[in-house]
Structure 1
Amino acid sequence: MEDSFMDDLDRIDIGILRHLQANGRLTNAELAKAVNVSPATCHRRTHALFEAGHIFRVTGQVNPASVDLGTLVMVGVVLDRSTPESFAAFEEAVSGMKELLDCHLVAGDFDYLLKIRARDMNDFNVMHTKMLIALPGVRQIRTFFVLKEVKENAPLAF
């Protein structure tokens, strides 16, 4: 692993990052105690980590099944042309899709890998028919229904 980011961060900063990554609901006082600094120092350092871009958001994770989105689907997309214009048109179109959790430009058999949550297979079929195949420049779509989520949204290892 490359140590470049470690040059900017000391053990207290790294501790703050690790603790917040594990539990973003920690109060400043709890976080300060966990990294063995005063609450004022912890607040200043946490603010500096946000300002430097080391932390870009703190959110709560919603259980997908509890909001009727228990079906996870991975979709491989191949575009008909590999041009900057094709990529830009596709990316602009998917950026507005609320059902889409993740979209990654990749090397290999696909141009993009998409991660989508749906209520069930029929719900995904409607999305596929109305949205996915209508995306600009799409030549091929390969769909993979996730049978079991073994590891998801794991914390970064640093």
Structure 2
Amino acid sequence: MDRADRALLSALQADSSRSIAELAELVRLSPSAAHRRVKALEEQGLILGYAARLDPRKLGLSVEVFVEIALTSQSREAMERFERAVGGFEDILECHLMSGSADYLLRVAARDLDHYDAIHRDCLARLPGVSAMKTSFSLRRIRRFEGYSVPS
């Protein structure tokens, strides 16, 4: 990966709606060279896809919740069963396998506490193999994820 590839990746993370012509001008390449490089970065799996970042508050999702999950067993079968179940609930935004005291960390967004209570009852409480659940509410987001630092 050279300077132009890194510049393209950084520019696309900042605003993936830019046209190839705009990207090319930004990184000082011809449009055809920029297009070829973007396609190559996609084929190499460096670019996984394109999406818009949405404002959760404007969607009515003002409560962000982090849920630590401990399982009754860390067997392969128990973990696979839990992970499959997590995939079936759209209210679970992210799920991370963790080291430390919790086996998993979930991120959930809700409209309010009543909505989170419903998510807890209808979704989280139905996850298989859970021995303990610890919920933390985000009071305020200090920094939003804007993309990865592209190494030079």
- Shorter-chain TM range is over 0.9
- AA at the equivalent of 1:76: E
- Match of residue 156 from structure 1: 148
1:139 to 112, 124, 131: 131
Q: Is the 8 A contact 2:13 2:146 kept in 1?
A: no
Q: Output the CA distance in 1 between the equivalents of 2:62 and 2:31.
A: 40
- 2:36 is aligned to 44
- In the alignment, which residue of structure 1 is the partner of 2:78? 86
TM-score normalized with structure 2 length: 0.96
Where 1:57 maps in the other structure, the secondary structure is: coil
1:60 aligns with 2:52: yes
2:9 is equivalent to residue 17 of structure 1: yes
Contact 2:14 2:146 in 1 (8 A): no
Give the equivalent residue in structure 2 for 1:74: 66
Q: Which secondary structure state, in structure 1, belongs to the residue aligned with residue 109 of structure 2?
A: strand
* 1:96 partnered with 2:84: no
* Cross-structure match for 1:117: 109
Q: Does 1:127 find its partner at 2:132?
A: no
Secondary structure (helix, strand or coil) at the match of 2:101 reads coil
Unpaired stretches in structure 2, ≥5 consecutive residues = none
> Are 1:106 and 2:106 matched, yes or no?
no
Higher relative contact order (CA 8 A, sep 6+): 2
SS across alignment from 2:70: strand
**1:9-42 deviation line (CA, Å, top 9, x unaligned):** 0111111001001111111000000000000000
Structure 1 residue ranges (4+ consecutive) displaced by more than 2 angstroms after TM superposition: none
SS at match of 1:117: strand
Which residue identity does 1:10 align to in structure 2?
D
Q: 2:23 aligns with which of 13, 27, 31?
A: 31
Aligned length: 150
* Percentage of matched positions with identical amino acids: 36
